[in-house]
Amino acid sequence: MKQPESNLKNMVLSLGGISLVAALLLSWVNGVTEEPIKEAEFKSQTAAMEMVMPEHDNNPFDERFTTTVKGAEVTIYPAINDGKLTGAAVETSADGFAGKITVVYGFEADGTIKDYSVLQHSETPGLGSKMQEWFRDGQGSRSIIGRNPGNENMTVSKDGGKVDAITAATISSRAFLKTLNNAFKAYMEYSSNQKGAEK
């Protein structure tokens, strides 16, 4: 009668030992891979910033500024050249159809959109995922490049705006344009404060 109980204890001890070893191995693997993953993400983010940012001779990462617009966190990476603000890269997020969308927009000094890069999304492949290229496509009123949200309504045409939504992905398009408008608002406030400080 006591033999099965002893076997059960041994089995529990063995399983406990295996679980402990597995947990230690997972912790070690996480520790080994965490830094390289963070470094790769930083390099990817830096490349995206440089792609969208106007000419600059400063280090925008060192001078970044974080604020909140309509409950969303917005980070501004100012582009300064020869002591003057030439624009900025502005990063922010919004909830899309399938999860968070994070976009970085490049603005010229006056708020004109220079370029953008989608840093993160979980949108439907072939639909919402098209945002990386759709909003720079010159067909119809898709492209936001060279436009200024201060001069026109940068929302989807279904909502009375001037931008064509991605076909069958209106929710994703609304989220993308929401991040754009929040980024623009944050940049213009930042720019105005910088001009005020110069006087």
50 against 81, higher pLDDT: 81
Give the bridge partners for 107, in sequence order. Answer: 88, 113
For the stretch 122-181, pLDDT in tens is: 898 989 999 999 999 999 999 999 999 999 999 999 999 999 999 999 999 999 999 999
The amino acid that residue 11 corresponds to is M
- 179 and 101 in contact (C-beta within 8 Å)? yes
Residue with tokens 């830094």: 35
Q: Tell me what the pLDDT averaged over the chain comes to.
A: 87
Looking at the predicted structure, is the pLDDT value of residue 115 above 80?
A: yes
For the stretch 70-100, pLDDT in tens is: 999 999 999 999 999 999 999 999 999 999 9
Instruction: Give this prediction's pTM.
Output: 0.77
For 7-24, what is the mean pLDDT?
Answer: 75
For 110-122, what is the mean pLDDT?
Answer: 94
* 3 state SS for 60-120: CCCCCEEEEECCEEEEEEEEEECCEEEEEEEEEEEECCCCEEEEEEEEECCCCEEEEEEEE
Give the bridge partners for 89, in sequence order. Answer: 77, 106
